[in-house]
Structure 1
Amino acid sequence: MTQPSDRDVGPSGHSTEPVINRQRSLRLSVWDGAFHAAMVGMGESFFQAFAVFLQATNTQLGLLWSLPQSLGAISQLWAARLLRTFGSRKRHTVMFAFLQALTHLAMAVAIFFGGYSVNWLILWVVGYFVLGNLCAPAWTSWMGDLVDEKERGTYFGRRNAVVGITAFLAMMLAGTVLERAGLWFGSHYIGFALLLVLATIAKIVSVSLLSRQDEPALVLDPAKQFTFMEFLRQAHQNNFGRFVLFMGAMSFSVFVSAPFFVPYMLKSLGMSYIVFTVISAFTLLAKYAVMPFWGEAADRFGTRRTMV
């Protein structure tokens, strides 16, 4: 049986808000996530491999990992202001997601015109992460209103399983293309450009599916609005603040060495593209394969107990 649609009804008995079909929107979100994962599997997952191919220095490899993610995180401070400008989480998310897709196309076009450098790659990857991070707060709020609070762990666990399988298949395809690029195209440059074009197409399909999802009315509570500095001053006094500090510490410890795993595998260990891809893809698959289990555990026992 289809879940009843949600709407607000005015005093006259007529609907004052558009019909919200949650079940349809959640199904579309699974497919949106799958195509987004295909973009990641064929694009983002090989940014560092492309930098190694371009003979990036260790400093450039560190910047390629840290600078885009740092600036992307900082850009979220302006996401709420931009959201108020757009007046809709859906319009906000669709716009920046589409622009993010175009960064792949720009990188591919630059390859065909020649003269590609690591510094240009870093610049485009910064744009990719900034645009993606500008989407994140609005999309998270939007999905939070679509998914019932008691079912979030189960839903996102299953959604992430589909996302993980798709990312795995996309990475395996990408690794095969790179491994055979020299034979097929006579140049690995063409192989990387082809992956970026495919990533662009996948993201545009994702954006199309995203645009077909319904958006519940956004209700802003002035009491819950605060500045970044106010958050920092009160972070240690509330659960969310302590969780953010915990995640920040964990991310810092991971990112100390993370930028150098890919060059270590490709340069120091001399792995081929297909071996590198298989190791990376199966690591990703293992992570997503257990997410349905952890999602159900979070719904049953709570997120804090599950994490601990």
Structure 2
Amino acid sequence: MHKPHRQVSPQRRHLLTATWEGVPAVIYQTLLGGPFLTGYLLYLGAESSEVGFVLAVTTFFNVFQILTAFLIQRLQYRKKAMIVSTFLNRILWGATGVIPFVFDEKWWIPSFLVLYMGAFLAGTVSGIIWTSVISDMVPSKVRGRYFGIRNTILNALGAVMLFIGGMILDRYPGGTGFLILFIIAWIAIAANLSLFFLYPDPPFERSKETKFWPMVKKPLSDQPFIKSTLFLGGWLFLQTLVVPLYSYAMLDVLHISYSVVSIMTVAQTAIMMMGFYVWGNLNARFSNRRLLFWTLPLIAFSCLSWGLLAVLPVIPVLLLSHMLLGAGVGGFNQLAFNFMIGDTPKSERPMFIAMYSAITGLASFLGPMIGGQVFKMMKDAPVWIQQYGFQAFVGVIMLLTTLTLGRKVLRAT
């Protein structure tokens, strides 16, 4: 007997669209970011300070989200602006792959910086609009579970792509390997852009404020929100002093191969993947702020564990560090996202999102910048300081910060 097909509701179809759109996005982001971005910069001739700048500059542009949040209030629908800004972000980022073919070597780093900064300036616009749209698409009662499942699926794919990318670079070192990565990324970018046309365009509930400063004051006057945001900004400053430069430390200081670095990142992603599901389920029982507090010691111990290099072999120590980082950062990112879209008033949400992104983005910009300079200054320091001293020291500060300010701010709200 023929069974009729069960009709898929528009809401479920939209959630499937958001999940499928993430598939090619993860492919190109994995191959153009993380350890491969660090490796590509080193191939182009970048120093540690330049690597730190590139890793940091994307978050600096989050400051412009405050202006974007004000300007999009003029939109009744957001889809067209989201597609245009996303197109610019993807195309400019993908264009960094042609630099060795069209510029003289002395212009490789400057041209990369121009294209990359242009890409992520457009990304600040697309990011806040996408966050605003997705918060309207996903019902609050299933938000934690949905993003837990979505992030688990996408990070599983990211782990596979990390492994494949590492194998490609080991098999084809230098320009050939990076060209292969960019070709795969270009295909994924084309697929990603096409899927954005399937997104819905829900009506936009605009702010009751029409002027810029009164709109900005809304999140600033929300005491629980701004206290938590300022603390998380300070935390991210400490975290980004070392965590974004893990790949640099492994590739350029410890001289580990791309495949081993990829395996470390795969292990991190695997733990992160399992963590998404766990944190998502816990989010149904505990508040975003309380769970955010629980993620902090894990990240601190990830940095602190580098100190074990003094007595243990490199690979087990780095594996432990990346597993702790996966458990902590995965939960932190997911819960911070839910904090932005779930603990804020709907009509004022774009400005709350923008304020959070601006404060944490500025902190995350300064962290890798300073961290990159520290690594550069450590060139003449004792070997143990270069290899693990700085990371372990920052880990101690992070742990103390968690047990003092973190407990006071996040556990009290």
Pairwise TM-score range, normalised by the shorter structure: 0.7 to 0.9
Equivalent-residue separation in structure 2 for 1:179 and 1:258 (angstroms): 24
1:101 aligned onto 2:86: no
Match of 1:42 among 9, 31, 56: 31
Amino acid corresponding to residue 253 of structure 2 in structure 1: S
Aligned to 1:58: 48
- Which has the larger displacement, 50-59 or 90-99? 50-59
How far the C-alpha of 1:86 sits from its partner, in A, is 5.6
How far the C-alpha of 1:274 sits from its partner, in A, is 0.8
For structure 2, the 5+ residue unaligned runs are 1-5, 294-413
Aligned to 2:104: 115
Aligned to 2:151: 160
CA deviations over 1:38-67 (Å, ceiling 9, x no partner): 111111222111112233222212211222
How far the C-alpha of 1:165 sits from its partner, in A, is 0.8
Q: Secondary structure at the match of 1:222?
A: coil
Contact in 2 for aligned 1:104/1:197 (Cα 8 Å): no
Equivalent-residue separation in structure 1 for 2:244 and 2:284 (angstroms): 34
Aligned to 1:212: 198
CA deviations over 1:204-226 (Å, ceiling 9, x no partner): 21222221021221121314976
Amino acid corresponding to residue 192 of structure 1 in structure 2: F
RMSD of aligned alpha carbons? 2.3
CA deviations over 1:157-185 (Å, ceiling 9, x no partner): 00000110111111112111111114xxx
- Which has the larger displacement, 35-44 or 193-202? 193-202
Equivalent-residue separation in structure 1 for 2:28 and 2:261 (angstroms): 18
Equivalent-residue separation in structure 1 for 2:231 and 2:216 (angstroms): 18
Equivalent-residue separation in structure 2 for 1:140 and 1:105 (angstroms): 22
Match of 2:208 among 197, 219, 222: 222
For structure 1, the 5+ residue unaligned runs are 5-20, 183-187
Contact in 1 for aligned 2:77/2:202 (Cα 8 Å): no
Match of 2:20 among 9, 31, 53: 31
Equivalent-residue separation in structure 2 for 1:36 and 1:190 (angstroms): 23
Q: Secondary structure at the match of 1:214?
A: coil
CA deviations over 1:207-262 (Å, ceiling 9, x no partner): 2222102122112131497648635753xx42222222122112101112234322
Q: Secondary structure at the match of 2:98?
A: helix
User: Going by fraction, where is helix more abundant, 1 or 2?
Assistant: 2
Identical residues among aligned pairs (%): 23
Amino acid corresponding to residue 243 of structure 2 in structure 1: A
Matched residue pairs, number? 284
Aligned to 1:277: 262
1:256 aligned onto 2:241: yes
Q: Evaluate the alpha carbon distance shift between residue 226 and residue 82 of structure 1 in structure 2; reply closer, same or farther with a 3 A threshold.
A: closer
The alignment's TM-score, normalised by the length of structure 1, stands at 0.84
Aligned to 1:307: 292
Equivalent-residue separation in structure 1 for 2:92 and 2:7 (angstroms): 39
Contact in 1 for aligned 2:87/2:193 (Cα 8 Å): yes
Q: Evaluate the alpha carbon distance shift between residue 61 and residue 277 of structure 1 in structure 2; reply closer, same or farther with a 3 A threshold.
A: same
The alignment's TM-score, normalised by the length of structure 2, stands at 0.64
How is 1:130-141 mapped onto 2 (pairs within 5 angstroms)? 130-141=121-132
Equivalent-residue separation in structure 2 for 1:66 and 1:148 (angstroms): 33
- Which has the larger displacement, 223-232 or 296-305? 223-232
Deviation above 6 Å: which 4+ runs of structure 1? none
Aligned to 1:16: none
Q: Evaluate the alpha carbon distance shift between residue 294 and residue 225 of structure 1 in structure 2; reply closer, same or farther with a 3 A threshold.
A: farther
How far the C-alpha of 1:129 sits from its partner, in A, is 2.3
